[in-house]
Structure formats: C-alpha cells, structure tokens
Homo-oligomer: A and B are copies of this chain.
C-alpha cells in the first residue's frame, strides 16, 4: 500500500503532449474513474494517482488499469500532483479543502466534480491557502451506476461541463481545466456557482425528486389497494430509472442545494396545481393547449441538443 510515485513503473506511452504531469483523483468512482480513463486514453496526463480511504475500491481501480498508483496517505497523494481532482461524494468535498489544501504545492491546480457548486466554492475560498488555484467544476454526465468499474472513457463526450470560477480565480487554472474537459469531449460553459445551482435545481435535481415522488406515490397506493404497480407500463419504468440513483448522493444534493431546489419544487407544485384546476373544472381547451405547448417545448429541446 501507500506506494510512492517511484513505484509506479515505467511511464505510459503518450499519444499527445500531456496537459498535466501528475493528476491525483480523490475518489475513483463513476466520474473520477471515467475522467481517469478518458485522460489516459487521450494521453492528457503522464501519471494518474488514485487517492482515498477506500482501499478496496482503489485496488480495483488499479487492477482495472484506471489509475497508475493508489495512495491512502493524503500528504503523499497530493504532494507531487500538478492537478488534484476531488471526485468524492458531494457532501464530503466541502470538508476536503481544509485537509488537502495545506498539503498541496503552491502551483497545484485544484478542482472538483460535484453536482452542487455554491457551498463547495464557498468552502474552497474559505479554507484553501491559495483559493485562486481552485476552479469548481461539474461534468453534467452520469448514469445510475457507481464505482470505479462503472466508469468509461466516453462518459463526457458531447456532454456539458460547467466551470464556476469566482473573482478570485486565477485565469491560468481556468484555461487549463477548460482544455482538459474539452480534450475529453465536453462542451465547456463558464458561469457563477449560484447560477449553476439554480439551473441544476430545475433541470436535474427537480426531475429526480419528481421521479422519487412518483415511485413513492404508486408504491403507497399499491400497498393500500394491492396490485396497482404491476400494471405500470414501460414508460413508467423508463421514467423512474433515475429514482434508482444513490440515496446518499441525493440526500446530500437536496441538503446542499436546498434553496434552489425548494424554488424548483415550488414552481413545479404551482404548475401541477394549475393542471389540477383545469382537470377539475373540465377545461378541455386549456388542457389541450397546455399539452400541445409541452410537446412543442420538448421537440424544441431535442432539436437544440442536435
């Protein structure tokens, strides 16, 4: 265990000039592992260190060839890193800055991949010795699976990665992280953390809450009336795919993006009330217009994705 950089074996063959020498990934799960795979495949980094507390997962990542070395000692893990990527569950990222910050070199670039940005960016600016070297990041990508073995190099292809610098962020780390995410296939968009959290509250966190609520509602009715859920058709099961995501992750997202998510839930509840009123009043014309507008909106969204 705790192998130092020297034990990593001969350097990998590079297919291009690497963007970073050593990249340390803290938390080699779905996102961290996929970034490692993508960076390796494209020759974007010379060496990848997997750092974390979970020895078993790191060992698996090492065996899979996702990382070059594993490390469970924080100081050793970040000491020689040119880039440190925090890819642990979103709640724990907030606590990592105070722990890792003082161990990093002055020039080390720090980023994260958490799906909530406000509290993370705030914690980084409060706790890091060199907050200008940190840029918050969020690759808008994922599956309902988790762990190093669930990762794949093309996860970020044609997806959006949002970077959330502040007034204090140095321009150089921002540009180098932009280059890294673009090199793994992402479209990079730069915006403030607050705007990021508001948008994600609507387009990602709200749909999850709605899916969870739907599954729960049908489950409760099934318990009361019996044999209800078994009549659900394919559409419902597709619909609730996202309701099988990690409970701990969604708990943390809900708590960390509480304000924006509550706003989104309230907007949804108001719209639902409007629907209910139309159904209740038998307002056929209103319903049809409403449904038609939804259909056109979805078509426009799909068009915009092309």
Chain A residues proximal to chain B, CB less than 8 Å: 140-142, 159-160, 162, 189, 198-200, 202-204, 206-207, 209-221, 225, 227-233, 235-245, 247-248, 250-252, 254-255, 258, 261-262, 264-269, 271-273, 275-276, 278-280, 282, 284, 287-295, 297-299, 301-302, 304-305
A292 contacts which chain B residues (CB < 8 A)?
Answer: 247
In the complex, the count of this chain's copies comes to 2
Interchain CA distance A220-B274 in the complex, whole Å: 13
* Selected A-B contacts with CB under 8 Å, 24 pairs: A140-B233, A162-B231, A199-B225, A206-B218, A207-B239, A213-B268, A213-B275, A214-B268, A216-B293, A220-B271, A221-B267, A230-B305, A237-B302, A243-B295, A244-B294, A247-B289, A250-B287, A251-B284, A251-B287, A252-B284, A255-B279, A265-B276, A266-B276, A272-B272
Chain A interface secondary structure, helix, strand, loop or mixed? helix
Interchain CA distance A254-B261 in the complex, whole Å: 29
A209 contacts which chain B residues (CB < 8 A)?
Answer: 272, 275
- Residue among B243, B251, B289 making CB contact with A288, cutoff 8 Å: B251
Name A198's closest neighbour in chain B (CB-CB). Answer: B225
- Residue among B213, B247, B284, B298 making CB contact with A271, cutoff 8 Å: B213
Question: Across the interface, do A258 and B280 meet the contact criterion of CB distance under 8 Å?
Answer: yes
A258 contacts which chain B residues (CB < 8 A)?
Answer: 279-280, 282
Name A208's closest neighbour in chain B (CB-CB). Answer: B235
Question: Across the interface, do A232 and B271 meet the contact criterion of CB distance under 8 Å?
Answer: no
- Residue among B220, B235, B282 making CB contact with A242, cutoff 8 Å: B235
Question: Across the interface, do A235 and B241 meet the contact criterion of CB distance under 8 Å?
Answer: yes
Question: Across the interface, do A210 and B212 meet the contact criterion of CB distance under 8 Å?
Answer: no
A255 contacts which chain B residues (CB < 8 A)?
Answer: 279, 282, 284, 287
Contacts A214-B268, A275-B213 given; indicate if A304 touches B203 (C-beta within 8 A). no
Contacts A241-B238, A282-B255, A305-B237 given; indicate if A272 touches B275 (C-beta within 8 A). no
Interchain CA distance A282-B261 in the complex, whole Å: 12
- Residue among B199, B241, B297 making CB contact with A215, cutoff 8 Å: B297
Question: Across the interface, do A244 and B160 meet the contact criterion of CB distance under 8 Å?
Answer: no
Contacts A279-B262, A287-B251 given; indicate if A228 touches B203 (C-beta within 8 A). yes
Question: Across the interface, do A275 and B268 meet the contact criterion of CB distance under 8 Å?
Answer: no
Name A269's closest neighbour in chain B (CB-CB). Answer: B272
Interchain CA distance A258-B200 in the complex, whole Å: 33
Question: Across the interface, do A203 and B236 meet the contact criterion of CB distance under 8 Å?
Answer: yes
Interchain CA distance A252-B231 in the complex, whole Å: 21
Given contacts A160-B231, A213-B275, list 4 more A-B pairs with CB under 8 A: A141-B233, A202-B228, A212-B291, A238-B239
